[in-house]
Chains A and B, each alone.
Chain A
Amino acid sequence: MRLPRIFRTTPFRLTLLFLALFTAAASLFLAYIYIATAGEATRRTDQDIRREMRSLVGVYDRAGVDAINQSLIERASSEKPFLYLLLTRDGRRISGSIEQSPVENFAGKPAWTTFQVTDIDAQGHPVKHPARGLQQKLSGGEVLFVGADAGEDEAYVTKIVHALQAAGLLVILLGLAGGVLVSRNVSRSMVSLIDVVERVRNGETGVRAHVRGARDEFDELAQGVNDMLDRLERSMAGHKHAGDAIAHDLRSPLTRLRARLEAAYIDVEAGKGNAEEALAQALDDTDGVLKTFGAVLSIARLQAAGQAPNPVIFDPAELAADISELYEPFCEEKDLEYASEITRDLSIRGNREFLAQALANLLDNAVKYTPAGGAIMLRVRRRSSGEVEFSVTDTGPGVPDEDRDRVIQRFVRLENSRNQPGAGLGLSLVAAVAEAHGGRLELSEGPGKVGEMGPGLRVAFILPRP
């Protein structure tokens, strides 16, 4: 038979384990209490008996059997008399308050015994009391027994034992109840998480675990699961978006390519026109399509992975110097003034190749949009926040404030730059690289308007501290 779910939960099992440990500890503790109280009572009775015995033995040693008898008579009239029995050397009763010794097989050595005495209570009913007794041989050969009713002490002990039993039971019941409560509570949190996992497994999207706001480990777990799901769904959406984007943005150049080839084919078939030029043009178009395809693929992969592959820690100054070395002559050739301002000895963590490509794309863009006579500047610096910022500033026409977000979006190219070559993917790829490194892009106005130039664009590529 399967136990109800609540009894199969981990917290309940743990509760049982703790309960067992706690019961063991409580038992030890109760045993100590028992020994310290009930044991103490018995010891006190025994001590009294021993003292009485010593006193009687003293009387006997000084004055013999008659003196003992006299003494017993006196003592029997006291408020709480001991039980006495005096026997001859061969065991016959001489005198005493009880008929028969409770000690069996007396061998001559002092012997302790626990026995029962019967008493008559106030209502006339016989009541049995537990009692303790000591029997020993006197120097003349007679045998003396001294006993004491342990009744009151015993009642006290019984009370303690009952109290201890009740306490033990309470401990177990409270423990079990607590276990059930804790398990219920824990398993309610777990069940809701398990439910979320189950629904996600069945392909549901948008399911999120409930965060109760208790800031405990369940909330942490639920938050973790939610973050993971967010990330997965974003990645899935990214894939889907990449697919759509590829379809959308490759279709038009491919259509153009097909039309061009078709026109060339018709011309050649009709015997007028030269295939060579059309083919050369088609090759160029194909290269363009491939470049777009490569960029889309890189963006999609970066967005899907959510992080840059093979990251290493390195000095951004080296990277910036390398890229400057590649682009500076190129800028001069285009009659653009190139300057760089590079802070040394910083460190960043990332994929060198992708970061190099991002910087190259930023510089490509700057070169593309800045008219001759303009200037381009590459800066690497540490922000006060500890982040490392690469920035490329140009003196081109810039990007209007309201369009800045849009330029980062994939494939968006501003209306007035349609006549410039390029797939319009540059900044989107840079943005994807920044995001994959946990960083971001910030676009702002360049140095402002100077004559025909400006106001320019400043693109900051910001990486978190490693």
Chain B
Amino acid sequence: MRILIVEDDLEAADAMARGLTEAGHECTRGADGQEGLTAARDGAFDVMVVDRMMPRMDGIQLVETLRREGDRTPVLFLSALGEVGDRVDGLQAGADDYLVKPYAFPELIARIQALARRHDTGSVQTLLKVGDLEMDLIGRSVQRAGKSVDLQPREFQLLEFLMRHAGQSVTRTMLLEKVWHYHFDPQTNVIDVHISRLRSKIDKGFDRPMLQTVRGAGYRLDA
């Protein structure tokens, strides 16, 4: 994946680029908004990671400019400002996701992958399929290897999110944000219980478990 990192904190950008390169991605860097804009106009990137506060041109201006020019490349905003209003501002400017600093590296990778995946599904799918697991989004039904799986509405949403990001790690924070729409970290791991219930419904009685726990990151649904 080609990733553009626009970040004025060079050390943070270094660490990020190193980690992403090790994860097999190709990174280009811009040290401020202006450089970022030039780089974004030049190259085709799969995802852009943009710091919010930068000299010369801040992240909001950068994203707004790109969106005005018709550039739809997914943007992940990084910011030290984490309040509700700040997040809304960022998303309104045209960013696709918002990550508050400091973050854990697995969280960053998971979100970048989620963005890239979202970008390349152009057509509307009514049926999701991961391995022998099938979800009918209109009929609201789930089957594994032809056997019907009975899910609660929230479990259905949770599984839908996992299926849409099959093969990728998703973090607990991402699940809380995307499935429950809460933007705070609970002090307890409430998400784990929901995952284990879902796991018991889709993996029980099958030799190969699909729903994996990724240490230090979160969960992953494998085909």
Contact = CB atoms under 8 A, between A and B. Distances in A.
A42 B198 CA distance: 113
9 contacts: A294-B82, A309-B83, A310-B88, A326-B190, A332-B193, A351-B84, A353-B184, A364-B186, A364-B187
Interface in B65-96: 82-85, 88
B194 A353 contact: no
Contact of B182 (A287, A301, A356, A364): A356
Nearest to A354: B84
Size category of the B interface is 20 to 34
A30 B85 CA distance: 69
B194 A329 contact: yes
Contacts of B190: 326-327, 330, 360
B193 A330 contact: yes
A333 interface: yes
Q: What 4 A-B pairs are tightest by C-beta distance, nearest first?
A: A357-B184, A329-B193, A364-B187, A330-B193
Interface in A319-333: 322, 325-327, 329-330, 332-333
Given A329-B193, A329-B197, A333-B193, A360 B83 contact: no
Nearest to B84: A353
A394 to B, nearest CB: 14
A291 B185 contact: yes
A325 B85 contact: no
B102 interface: yes
Given A364-B186, A368-B187, A426-B187, 17 more contacts: A294-B82, A310-B84, A310-B88, A325-B154, A326-B182, A327-B190, A330-B188, A330-B190, A351-B84, A353-B84, A353-B183, A360-B182, A360-B190, A361-B187, A364-B188, A368-B188, A421-B187
Contacts of B187: 291, 361, 364, 368, 421-423, 426
A24 interface: no
A290 interface: yes
B154 A367 contact: no
Given A309-B85, A310-B84, A360 B184 contact: yes
B186 A360 contact: yes
Interface of A: 287, 290-291, 294, 297-298, 301, 309-310, 322, 325-327, 329-330, 332-333, 351, 353-354, 356-357, 360-361, 364, 367-368, 421-423, 426
Given A360-B186, A364-B186, A290 B102 contact: yes
B153 to A, nearest CB: 9
Contacts of A354: 84
A368 B83 CA distance: 26
Contacts of A361: 187
Nearest to B88: A310
Nearest to B194: A329
Contacts of B183: 353
Contacts of A333: 193, 196
Nearest to B155: A329
A80 B183 CA distance: 110
Contacts of B185: 291, 294
Given A326-B190, A422-B187, A353 B102 contact: no
B184 to A, nearest CB: 4
A173 to B, nearest CB: 62
A310 B194 contact: no
Contacts of B102: 290
A232 B12 CA distance: 38
A410 B83 CA distance: 20
Nearest to A423: B187
A354 B85 CA distance: 12
Interface in B190-223: 190, 193-194, 196-197
B14 to A, nearest CB: 19
Contacts of B193: 329-330, 332-333
A343 to B, nearest CB: 23
A353 B197 contact: no
Given A327-B190, A329-B193, A333-B193, A310 B184 contact: no
Contacts of A290: 102
Of A301, A322, A326, chain B has the most CB atoms within 10 Å of the CB of A326
A422 B186 CA distance: 11
A325 B152 CA distance: 11
Contacts of B196: 333
A291 B182 CA distance: 16
A179 B185 CA distance: 65
A195 to B, nearest CB: 38
Contacts of B154: 325
Contacts of A287: 104
Contacts of A294: 82, 185
Contacts of A329: 193-194, 197
